[in-house]
Structure formats: C-alpha cells, structure tokens
C-alpha cells in the first residue's frame, strides 16, 4: 500500500504507514519498554577490504537491509519476547514503508512511527570486509526531524514505561528532552551514545545505563580504550561525569561494567564472526530485556553478551538479530568463571 495514498487522521501523533491511528491516550498497546530513535535502510556491500581514500574495490552483491540503531534495538527487544513500542520518523517513500512494515512484522508496536512528508527515509551506506568489520556512513533524512514536540505528543507512552532506550542518530535536542521527561516520570534511561557526541553532565546524571562501545567511550572521555583495563579507567571517568552505571562494550573482548555496587568484566562467548553490524544493538536489546525481567546486572550483561555474540554470526543488521530461544540456549551454556 503506497504511503502517500493514506490520509493521516487528525492530530500530530499518527501512523500513516499502516493507516493505524495512534491511541496512546486510550486503548493503545502499552509497553514497559519504549525506544525513541532512528530507522535506516542499510545499503550494504561486502568487499574483501575497506577501500583506502581514492581507491575502488570490487564488492559482492548489493543488498538493502532494515537497520538504524533505534529500530535495531527495538527489533532486538521484540524478538527476545518483550513488548516494545518505538517512536521515530521515516520519509514518505518506499524505504519508509518497508522499514515500518518490517518493524511491525518483528513484533515492535509501530503505532508511534511517523511518516514525514517530503523528506527521505534515513539510510546507512555500509561496507563489510572479509573479517566482518564494517564502516558506516549515515544520511539521517527523516531521523533528523524527530522533535521534542514528537516526544511531548506521545507523553502517555513515557508515563507508563519503565525503560526508555535512546541512541544519538536523532537530534541531540530531542534526546535531551526525552531524557528530561523520562526523569520526571521515573523511567530508567538506557543511552547508547552512538554516534558519539558531547553530552552535558546534567544529561549524563539522568542516564541510568550508559552503553558506549570502545571508540565512543574514548571519544566521550578523551582516554584511550582498547581493553578491559583501559575501559575501567574510562568507565570511572564517565561515572565521575554523572552516569550511574556504565557498560563499555569491547567487541570480542566482552564488556566492562562500572556501577555504584562495584565493577566487573564480562567476557563474550567465542563465535565465528560474519558481520559485526548491529552486534551492539543486539547487546542493548538483550540488556534491557534481561533487566526488565529482573535479572541481576551481572546476569543481564551476560545475557546481553550472548545476544551480541549471536548477532555477529549472521550478515546484516536486523537480519542478524537472534530469537529469545537462541539467546536463552547460549545463556544457559555460557557461564564464565
Ligand atoms: O548499529 C548498526 C546500525 O548503525 C546500522 O543498522 C545502521 O543503520 C547504523 O545506524
């Protein structure tokens, strides 16, 4: 069904894509987990290596795969079996329609997705090398149009949430507004500061779980981060800057966690790496699901590590996200000393 053929119902909060009205004030589905963030169509090519400046490299077949850090994290949560609602914007184009339909099919409540007229859906151009490492350039498109007003328009969502999951692929002003609102409603904020941006201490102090990868932790602290020892120093610095609990993901080296109750390093299950795209998103999805089910922080990070590890064994962003049964199996088997 073409997006443009659907008449939007009145009011600022609507979903033209599925012609479903947002009913967050009465009767809409209520999720304890809300994601506010980006949706991208990933434009992906696998190549033997990432090209140097000025170089042309022959790659394999081009693919379009649903992505965007916000949508990936929402999809990860839904696939792990927890109800989740996503607020975000796509363009009124074919990519937008595909992304919204795909998210709904994965089990995410898409009622708060907005189609922005005259703006392109966000894209991410991704090259994946033979070792499964990637380089990504995003063109935000409609993601850049998610406003504080959008957050206010869906106030009912946040009032009933327990966890709000955010990344930095939408305007920082909107992220800041959502964090302030969540703090007022007593909602726990999980912030994945990706791509890295300077975060005021006032905001950090309202974040319950800050989850950067090593390069983002380095960017945020100015300290080198390459292993558990250096991650410990960066995590301490981020806690001094106001973050409550800091979880730095370190790829194949696992994750380092610093919280008011102490700190620890969590290794990751050994797997064959196919593509690291969205491994961090699977980790965050796993973390939030496990926390929302009442697991301890240590077990939640172990569960998240299993989700992230499974995601690197498959190609693509949302195509790589594991099911709840898969993560549960690995979680039962993976018991590091
Ligand atoms: O975290 C992976 C995601 O980053 C990709 O899906 C891409 O869209 C970019 O947002």
Residues 144-200 have pLDDT tens digits of: 999 999 999 889 899 999 999 999 999 999 999 999 999 999 999 999 999 999 999
The answer as to whether 107 is a domain residue is: yes
Q: What pLDDT score was predicted for residue 31?
A: 82
CA angle at 200 for the pair 195 and 205, rounded to the nearest 5°? 105
SS3 195: coil
- Considering its fold, how many domains does the chain have in total? 1
Span 22-38, pLDDT tens digits: 333 344 456 899 999 99
Residue 13 belongs to some domain of the structure: no
Residue 23: φ, ψ to 5°: -125, 50
CATH number of the domain residue 288 falls in: 3.40.1190.20
Does residue 127 lie in a domain region? yes
Give residue 110's domain range. Answer: 30-51+59-333
In short, whether 277's Cβ falls inside 6 Å of ligand 1 is yes
Asked whether residue 9 is assigned to any structural domain, the reply reads no
Instruction: Decide if 4 is inside a domain.
Output: no
In a domain, 25, yes or no: no
Residue 180 is a catalytic residue: no
* In contact, 133 and 276? CB cutoff 8 Å: yes
103-122 pLDDT per residue, tens: 999 999 988 899 998 999 99
Q: What CA–CA distance (Å, rounded) separates 291 from 92?
A: 35
Atom of ligand 1 nearest to the CA of 126: 7
Q: Would residue 84 count as lying in a domain? A: yes
* pTM for this entry: 0.92
Residue 163 belongs to some domain of the structure: yes
Whose CA is closest to atom 2 on ligand 1? 278
CA 69 to ligand 1 center in whole angstroms = 5
pLDDT in the model for residue 210: 98
């Amino acid at each position: 069904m073409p997006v443009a053929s659907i008449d939007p119902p009145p009011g600022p909060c609507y979903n033209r894509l599925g012609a479903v009205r947002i009913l967050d004030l009465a009767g809409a589905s209520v999720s304890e987990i809300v994601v506010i963030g980006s949706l991208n169509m990933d434009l992906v090519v696998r190549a033997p290596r990432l090209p140097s400046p000025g170089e042309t490299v022959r790659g394999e077949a081009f693919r379009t795969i649903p992505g965007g850090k916000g949508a990936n994290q929402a999809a990860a949560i839904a696939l792990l079996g927890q109800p989740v609602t996503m607020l975000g914007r796509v363009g009124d184009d074919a990519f937008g329609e595909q992304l919204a339909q795909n998210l709904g099919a994965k089990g995410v409540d898409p009622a708060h997705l907005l189609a922005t007229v005259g703006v392109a859906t966000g894209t991410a151009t991704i090259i994946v090398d033979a070792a499964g490492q990637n380089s990504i350039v995003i063109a935000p498109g409609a993601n850049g149009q998610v406003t504080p007003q959008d957050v206010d328009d869906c106030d009912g969502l946040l009032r009933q949430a327990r966890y709000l999951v955010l990344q930095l692929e939408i305007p920082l002003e909107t992220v800041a507004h959502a964090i302030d609102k969540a703090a007022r409603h007593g909602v726990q904020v999980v912030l994945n500061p990706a791509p890295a941006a300077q975060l005021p201490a006032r905001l950090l102090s309202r974040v319950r779980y800050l989850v950067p990868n090593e390069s983002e932790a380095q960017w945020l602290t100015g300290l080198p981060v390459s292993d558990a020892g250096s991650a410990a120093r960066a995590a301490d610095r981020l806690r001094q800057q106001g973050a409550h609990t800091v979880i730095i993901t370190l790829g194949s080296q696992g994750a380092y966690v610093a919280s008011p109750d102490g700190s620890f390093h969590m290794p990751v299950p050994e797997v064959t790496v196919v593509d690291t795209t969205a491994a961090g998103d699977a980790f965050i999805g796993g973390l939030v699901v496990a926390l929302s089910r009442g697991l301890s922080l240590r077990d939640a990070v172990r569960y998240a590590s299993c989700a992230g590890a499974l995601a690197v064994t498959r190609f693509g962003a949302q195509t790589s996200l594991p099911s709840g049964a898969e993560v549960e199996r690995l979680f039962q088997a993976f018991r590091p000393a």
